[in-house]
Every structure is written in structure tokens, then in C-alpha cells.
Amino acid sequence: MIGPRIRLMLQSNSKVSDGMGGFTDSWIDVRELKGVFMNRKAKELFSNHSEKVSSNHYFSVKNMRDLYVDESFRFYYNSKVYEIVFISNPGEKKNITIFHLEKYEDSGSGSGC
């Protein structure tokens, strides 16, 4: 992959008791990942589980064999939130994992990176 290597914080959604019998969603930091983050020249549409999804960024990470990540996670970087819309693993070897991302407009709460 061509581009600068940066660190993005991987976050997962956690349900936290609100003290009144209900729950609120909270994002917790899982791990900081180093990889290549790139903007796409144009929005890309592709099929994911028979559903059309769009992506305008991607983040490529090497050697993610010890960490399970799916589309319920997100990345946080520089006060911006990026939702994972699709994960590809060329050759199914987990040598390189490519996260196809869509920038989320309302960053809500997150941690600093």
C-alpha cells in the first residue's frame, strides 16, 4: 500500500447501565492499529452480503491474526469517526486486512488518539 502509516484507535460498542433499568451505548477503546489510511478519489459502491454499501476511505493493516474485528467496530482518529462498512482480506491469509470506511458525521463521544 502506498501512503503514510498512521495510528487509528479501534473501538467497540458497549452497553452501559443507565441506572434506571435501561442501557446506553458507549464506545470503548480496543487497540491502536498502525496502517495506511487513504482517501478514495470517488465513492466506491460494492456488494456486501447482497447489500450495496459505499466507502470513501480505506485503512490497510498488516498481520491482524490475533484480533477479531467485524462491522460493529469503528475507528476514531483526530476527532473523526469512521464506520467500518466492509472488511476484505486478500487471499484469506490475514497478511493484509483492508477496512473499507465511511466517515461518520456526528463523532459523539470518543477518546483522543
Residue that wins the pLDDT comparison between 65 and 22:
22
Quote the number of domains for the chain: 1
In a domain, 47, yes or no: yes
Mean pLDDT score across all residues of the chain: 81
Give the per-residue pLDDT at 96. 87
| pLDDT interval class at 39 (50, 70, 90) | confident
- pLDDT tens sequence across 46-78: 555 555 667 788 899 988 878 889 999 999 998
In a domain, 110, yes or no: no
In a domain, 109, yes or no: no
Domain that holds residue 30: 5-15+24-104
Q: Is the pLDDT of residue 25 over 70?
A: yes
Torsion (CA) 90, 95, 100, 104 in degrees, nearest 10: 170
Q: Which residue from 110, 85, 81, 113 is spatially nearest to 99, judged by alpha carbons?
A: 85
